[in-house]
Amino acid sequence: MKKKLATVWLGGCSGCHMSLLDIDERLLEVAKLADIVKSPVVDGKEFPECDIALVEGALANAEHEEEIHVIRRKTKVLVAFGDCAVTGNVSALRNAIPKDVVLKRSYLEVPGTVGGLIPNQEIAPLIDRVRPLHEAVKVDYYLPGCPPSADLIFHVLFELLHDRAPVLDQEKLKYG
């Protein structure tokens, strides 16, 4: 029976998902083994029950904090997908700066935003400190890289889709 696979994009740049697409024709092998029940292009209001979820990005706002708990509850195997999910990485660079300064800079000071407003309803409020997934929920596997290489992503997916634990040796962990 096919596994149910979800991919989720939280506080990240989507580069990890781009790298997933770089597995190219091997996507067909994944498609034989799994149904994509949720992804940035297979959207739905509710997060569905699934066997495997690749979660890109750190927890950066209140919505991410809620979402990750729902994902954890409904997912058998949760994978921290990429360095932002694993360590906070690029997303956590703002932790050194108070969030009101970050918002002011982003919405009021950079070219094209002068005279604008800091949205307080349309976007989820930033949390004080960006954090990696494992600080909020149990993570089953870590898939490092910024982004992880397509080969590494395929290896991890392929093993998990066969109910095997992926082995990340030094060679596979090469960034690239």
Residues in the chain: 176
Contact 10, 56 (CB under 8 A): yes
**How does strand 141-143 pair with strand 75-81?**
parallel
Strands 126-131 and 59-61: antiparallel
The H helix count followed by the E strand count for the chain is 6, 7
Which is closer to ligand SF4, CB of 3 or CB of 88?
A: 88
42 phi-psi bin (left φ>0, alpha ψ -120 to 50, beta other) = beta
With CB under 6 A as the contact rule, which of the stretches 11-19, 34-42, 62-70, 124-132 interacts with ligand SF4? 11-19
**Least distance to ligand SF4, CB of residue 145, Å:** 7
Among 13, 102, 127, 136, binds ligand SF4 (CB under 6 A): 13
Contact call for residue 56 and ligand SF4 (CB under 6 A): yes
Binding residue for ligand SF4, selected from 82, 88, 155, 160, defined by CB under 6 A: 82
The residue within the footprint of ligand SF4, chosen from 16, 20, 53, 133 (CB under 6 A), is: 16
Question: Binders of ligand SF4: how many residues, by CB under 6 A?
Answer: 13
Closest separation in Å from C-beta 12 to ligand SF4: 3
Which one, of 92, 87, 95, lies nearest residue 144 by Cα? 87
Query: Is residue 132 a contact residue for ligand SF4 (CB under 6 A)?
Result: no
**Which residues, 6 or more positions from 92, have their beta carbon under 8 angstroms from its beta carbon?**
58, 84, 129, 130, 131, 132
Q: Per CB under 6 A, does 146 bind ligand SF4?
A: yes
Residue with tokens 């093993």: 159
Indicate whether 39 belongs to the interface with ligand SF4 (CB under 6 A).
Answer: no
Residue of 20, 37, 55, 89 that binds ligand SF4 (CB under 6 A): 89
User: Interface with ligand SF4 by CB under 6 A: which residues?
Assistant: 12-13, 15-16, 56-57, 82-84, 89-90, 146-147
